[in-house]
Amino acid sequence: MSTVLRLASITKSFGSVTANDHVTLELKEGEILALLGENGAGKTTLMNILFGHYAADEGTVKVFGKTLPSGRPRAAIRAGVGMVHQHFTLAGNLSVLDNVMLGSEPLLRVRSRRAEGRARLLALSERFGLSVDPDARVSGLSVGERQRVEILKALYRDARILILDEPTAVLARPEALCLFDTLQSMTRQGLSIIFISHKLNEVMAAADRIAVLRGGRKVAERTNAETSPEELAELMVGSRVTRPKREAHAIGAPRLVAEDVTVHLDSKPALKGVSFTAHAGEILGIVGVSGNGQVALGSLLSGVAAPETGRLTLEGREIGGLGPRALIAEGVGRIPEDRHAEGIVGELPVWENGVLERLATPRFARYGFVRRGAARGHAAGLIKRFDVRGATPEMRIRLLSGGNIQKLILGRVLAAAPKVIIANQPTRGLDEGAIAAVHAELLRAREAGAATILISEDLEEALSLSDRLQAIVGGRLSQPVAAGEADSRRLGLMMAGVWEELGNAV
């Protein structure tokens, strides 16, 4: 088999951070290579260099024996490289055909050859079994369909090397299996594929060869046959910061209870009759593939959305639709799903962000005026107690790293000693050190008797923290299972909506 792609000694740094440190990688024709590594290991940067989004500081990219000029996506496309981004780069207001054809014709052609384009798209979708409607508007497509459009877009440009960045992050298990089938059939037709992942089992299942990145370096390369998930885990993580463990302890009385709650978002039902009970001193994990109602659940529990029907009670008092301020007053602490979009106002200083959600309380305001001394002192306390590195109360919060922003948000929540904590994707996108810190704080709050709802797409996290778990699928919740009776396989099935036959609820 000939080498179709060769990355030689690629180095790239952003400021003081070295994202890629002399990484060398080869891809053979007709092979599926997995690029395995944790968040922040440098996988995406490496692929962005290959595709020309970034220019490398050092090193060369050779495709079919020819060196690519750096920093030029167009050259990569011409050479036959296609990339499927993790966050799809599609325009929702335009049609599938528009999205696929963009950039495939000379810009100054006086008439776009749409009929030919459509025929070609349909032929490709037939050949690779990726069915799409060329005239559908992208905003109306499901996540899986959008991914198909992205792949077709690459194939339309005669891509012979396909790069997929975390392709299964947004897919349910059956969809993911289907995707890997498609990829296999593509390699049989002569394509070569790199996919980026941090999931061991899918790497073992789908890849011919596996390259492991850690801290910007390639630490190992194995063929599928010569390695095991255990070895890969060790290679990927290295000497990892140990995540704190959940200790068994007695669970208290019911705190937060939802009974048959329905929530509408944009006047469409997004939560359909969900019920759960979170007890004092318990972490209740809600697991699921993204887009299955987590947003509505988070909005409901944060006080941003009100229940259409059903009851949501805290220690017996109705709290559905109270609004954020009243919820906080009732003792609910909220960690938002998207910390940059919802958790902070980036342009405001750390101290204002530290008190924004409790700005109207007597502790931080008097006669409508902000008690700046108290607020600043509070922020300084949070920074110290929750080890928010590099922060001062006066500094604009957007200059902090994601992990430190999350620590501040967590501190803001925990400092109020909440009865209930809503933790929505609390560690998404954080590095290992920050994850361990967040987990430790959540477990400490559990020890102290808080009832926690942990909404997470990360199975490992959900399994290690939760006392009980429920799966969210299509806006419905499964029956809860005890952590001791759950494993990845069973949770995977639950997340695919196969829970009725599993029975034996807790």
Partner 1 sequence: MRFERRARVPWSLAVAAPFAAIAAALALSAVLILAAGVNPLLAYVEMLRGALGSRLAVTEMLTRAVPLVLTGLAVAVAFRARLWNIGGEGQFYLGALAVAWVGHDLISGLPPAAGIAVLTFVGMMAGALLLSGPAYLRLRFGVDEVVTTLLMNFVVILFVGLMIEGPLRDPLAFGWPQSVPVDGAYHLPDLIPNTRLHIGLLIALAAAGIVWLIVARTVFGTEARAAGFNARAAEFAGVSLPRTIIGVALLSGGLAGLAGGIEVMGVTRGVTTTMSPGFGYAGIVVAMLAALHPAGVVAAAVFVATIFVGADAMSRATGVPSFIADVIVALALLTMLVALLFSSYRIRR
Partner 2 sequence: MIESLDLLFSASLWAAVLRIATPLIFGVLGALLCERAGVLNLGIEGIMTMGAMIGWLSVFLGADLWTGLLVAAAAGALIGLLHALLTVPLGLSQHVSGLGITLFAAALAYYLYRLIVTVGESPPTIEPFRPLDIPILSDVPFLGPVLFAQTAPTYLALISVAIIAYVLARTPLGLAIRMTGENPHTVESQGLDPTLIRIGCVMAGSALMALGGAFLTTAAFNSFFPEMVQGRGWICIALVVFSSWRPGKALLGALLFAFLDAYQLRLQAVVEGVPYQLFLMAPYLLSIVALILVARRARVPEALMTPYRRGER
Q: Which residues bind partner 2 (CB under 8 A)?
A: 51-54, 72-77, 83, 85, 87, 89-94, 98-99, 101-112, 114
119 binds, among partner 2, partner 1, none (CB under 5 to 8 A by kind): none
Query: Could you tell me the two tokens for 215?
Result: 């801290």
Q: Give the CA distances from residue 88 to residues 143, 150, 167, in Å, rounded to whole numbers and listed in that order.
A: 9, 7, 10
Tokens of 2: 């000939």
Instruction: With beta carbons less than 8 A apart as the criterion, state whether 411 and 440 touch.
Output: no
Helix, strand, coil shares of the chain, percent, nearest 5, are: 35, 25, 40
Cβ 490 vs Cβ 502: under 8 Å? yes
Quick one: 92 or 433, whose CB is closer to partner 2?
Answer: 92
Q: Which is nearer to partner 1, 370 or 493 (CB)?
A: 370
Separation of alpha carbons 504 and 485, rounded Å: 10
Between 34 and 319, CB nearer to partner 1: 319
| Partner residues linked to 476 by β-bridges | 473
Residue 434 binding target from partner 1, partner 2, none, CB below 5 to 8 Å by type: none
Measure the N-to-C terminal CA separation of the chain; round to a whole number of Å.
Answer: 54
By a kind-dependent CB cut-off of 5 to 8 A, residue 92 interacts, out of partner 1, partner 2, none, with partner 2
Q: Of these partners, partner 1, partner 2, none, which one is at the site of residue 55 (CB under 5 to 8 Å by kind)?
A: none
Block residue for tokens 């000939």: 2
35 burial class (0-12, 13-18, 19+ CB within 10 angstroms)? buried
**∠ at Cα 477 (322, 420), nearest 5°?**
40
Interaction partner, residue 99 (partner 2, partner 1, none; CB < 5-8 Å by kind): partner 2
- List the single partner that 106 binds among partner 2, partner 1, none, CB under 5 to 8 Å by kind: partner 2
User: Strand ranges (DSSP E) for 267-402?
Assistant: 268-279, 283-287, 309-314, 317-318, 332-335, 365-366, 369-370
For residue 387 the two structure tokens come to: 């080890």
253 or 360: whose CB is closer to partner 1?
Answer: 360
Asked whether 130 and 147 are in contact (CB, 8 A), the reply is no
* Residues contributing to the site for partner 1 (CB under 8 A): 302-304, 323-325, 328, 334, 336, 341-348, 352, 356-357, 359-360, 365, 368-370, 372, 394-396, 399
User: 105 vs 221, which CB is nearer to partner 2?
Assistant: 105
In whole angstroms, give the CA distance from residue 178 to residue 90.
22
> Measured from the CB of residue 428, what is the shortest distance to partner 1 in angstroms?
16
103 interacts with, out of partner 1, partner 2, none, CB within 5 to 8 A per kind: partner 2
Minimum separation from the CB atom of position 318 to partner 2 (A) = 32
**C-beta closer to partner 1: residue 372 or 384:** 372
Q: How far is the CB of 367 from partner 2 (least distance, A)?
A: 34
Residue 406 CB, nearest distance to partner 1 (Å)? 14
Paired tokens of 118:
């459509």
State in angstroms the smallest separation of the CB of 486 from partner 1. 31
CB of 255 to partner 2, least distance (A): 38
Write down the least CB distance from residue 99 to partner 2, Å: 8
